[in-house]
Structure 1
């Protein structure tokens, strides 16, 4: 209990990338009107911030993901405190439950977690499940059930050779997943929040004439064999086969034809290139 017999105020934890710690603290101070104190647990003032939160002097803690992990490893973590809520900026940092930062963040004792991210959909549906399950445990069901019901059918429907039935089922599962996600996501865009506060976009196009040396370099690049491969890759092959050049006789530019890139990177047809650090026993006909 706080002084006077009232309920104690439980602290709020904000975990952010190192680069935005100062910005978060500045915004808190601007909008708090002195109602609460903010402690930044980072850098030289880290111990002072820890003391402030443990003593109750500060009600909000801003800490980086890296510092939180380091504190947890050293045994001085703050996960034992009963946090009112935890906020995770760039929450896609927690998209894999196999990482140390995920394991460390999962120890935080709080009933409410909020994630802020511009990348709600990571690279895979497994990462989506992991992120959502961290923020709202069980919201997408068990991982195996999520894969069987959603991700498997959605990915099948996205294949170029998907059948009509697979495409239909994939679209249906995708719509169901979107509806389910909307129960846990609040999407804010510039158009709906600060559009009237943003200045008009102004494009200034400045055309610069190439110098003689720049022009020679540019023309030489256009004429080189490697560039011509890209420019003409979809044209019919010169041999008369009717097949695009890239899939017939012109898929590479050897040194004899003026090629530079392919001879530089492929000195041997094997896939076991020598590297003095990672593969010292590899084929030395490859250039390291």
Structure 2
């Protein structure tokens, strides 16, 4: 009994230390967002001498926040909705059609997760430049392609927990394949859909490299605008950290309301 209590105590302490380690970047970002540039360089870890919101006001203006936030929301939401729609349909089709071809196609999607974006970056941008798709629409199309592999893998795993008898019963009642998927199967995939939404939303919202190759300055997202604070001769850390704090608030709010569904979705999608 004593050994169990001691082991539990050690695990709790380790968990607290690990949590503090993970939270430390957020602490540094938020605390330094309220400091002046001089205070940041004089004392990074300490609390600001005088809490001020001037950094947030200036960062809001410099980021052209309304415009960059609008493009970030449009690109992120459109990409995530299309990824969920197409990936769920693909996962359903591959899980229900038991054949060698469907197995090969599924393996191709799984193998695609191992391909780094940097290896296809130059030919991809060159190809899309030839067809005049270096714009938000083309970026959304690219995100669908890069986000589909993991999403299909998760949906395919979740489909194993839904019995085929539901499809057969709906077919007997006169439902076609589209009705079965949209009215019966897809609502049952809500937990995994929330998981897919969060995983892709965080990635797309924070992505810098791909938008920097595709978007112009007039359609720049928040990560691209953040580069404004880092010049060749000066780095405005106080404004950059204030801008980062503003930028992560929407993602934190979404994650806070969807965390239960995310945990359940990851568990369902991992079972195969």
The structure with more strand, counted as a fraction of residues: 1
Q: Which has the higher helix share?
A: 2
> Which band: TM-score by shorter chain?
under 0.3
When normalised by structure 1's length, the TM-score is 0.24
TM-score normalised over the length of structure 2: 0.25
From the CA coordinates, give the structure whose radius of gyration is larger.
1
